Amino acid sequence: MPYKILIVDLHGKSGKTTLSLGLIYALKNIGFKICPFKPLSIHDWFTDYSTTLENIKYGTIFCNDIIKLREVSQCRQRYEFLNPIDMLTTPLDPSWFIENNFSSMYYTYNRDILKKTVIARTSIIHKNNIYNIGIVNQWLLEKSVANIEKEIVQKLSLNNDQIIEIFNTNSFEKVFNEYLYKAIKNSYIYLNNAEYDILLIESLKDLAWPLTNGVNVDIVLGLSPGTVLVYDAKRYKLALSLKGTHYSIVYGLRTRDIFEYLTPLKIFRIPPLPTIFVPEMIKEKIENIAEYINKNISSVI
């Protein structure tokens, strides 16, 4: 079974994917076979339009992070294995709120991720086969609240095996939660049993635990701008349990909820990393972290 690294964000937009790319490149150079895993992702079709174009070609949605991670790792798994849950958001149209005398709710709706999710994909793995379920928020489309055309949603659903249309946000959350745990769990089991040396798991934003109940990791890296904190995985899980239920994927615990309960094993300082991925440059700046992980892996083999 692979050595499992979980990368979480302590600050918000601290550069998890950049760190993940650098670690993958550095650890690959040492000789490890690495698989990236992004259990849950969210992206916007409008502000991340280049990813939307890739999604249209593929016929379903997946995030830009997994495109980069898959490419650098040279992992040949399908996107659905590596990114079993993806949520596509859309900009809400402020004029709709104004015209319907609903202006006071514009920012409230923008803060609720499910209210502006136009489609979610959950991919269920069974016997190495993928079953894609697309959950479409018809309420957004039919009320003209969303800045997205139905034709685009149809193109993003061509590779889905099942489409579930939802007509209110409460039902959307219920149906979404019905499938996402199984999707993440099955992908984790599949990748954990595959022939990789390292499974590098990247969380969503500052979500403290992007996995399901009953699974474990070997080490946790908490990232803040300029700093990487290394946490013992068992103590990290204990901190989660002290705060109660922590397996709600969308509305679960954030890293800020458990930060005071955590004492890092080691602290690394890192300089600013370039936005444009230059493997050699990033490898050079995080090589000490890669070497630390290498020693940890060697000690458990």
Task: Please tell me whether the overall predicted TM-score, pTM, comes out greater than 0.85 for this model.
Answer: yes
User: For residues 69 and 234, is the Cβ–Cβ distance under 8 A?
Assistant: no
Reported as a single tens digit per residue, the pLDDT across 116-130 is 999 999 999 988 899
Calculate mean pLDDT across residues 187-201. Answer: 95
Two tokens, residue 124:
């269920």
Reported as a single tens digit per residue, the pLDDT across 131-183 is 999 999 998 888 888 888 889 999 999 999 999 999 887 888 888 888 989 99
Domain spans, the chain: 1-33+195-301, 39-191
φ, ψ for residue 85 (rounded to 5)? -125, 125
Q: List the one residue out of 259, 188, 239 whose CA is nearest residue 9.
A: 259
Taking the C-alpha atoms of residue 141 and residue 153, their distance in angstroms, rounded to an integer, is 9
Decide if pLDDT at 251 tops 90: no
Among the ranges given (47-56, 168-177, 274-283, 287-296), the one the predictor scored with the smallest mean pLDDT: 274-283
Strands 85-89 and 117-126: antiparallel
Decide if pLDDT at 73 tops 80: yes
pLDDT of residue 243: 83
Decide if pLDDT at 112 tops 90: no
pLDDT of residue 23: 94
Confidence of residue 275 (pLDDT cuts 50, 70, 90): low
Q: What is the mean pLDDT of the chain?
A: 91
Q: List the one residue out of 2, 35, 1, 31 whose CA is nearest residue 20.
A: 35
Decide if pLDDT at 261 tops 60: yes
| Run of H or E including 89 | strand 85-89
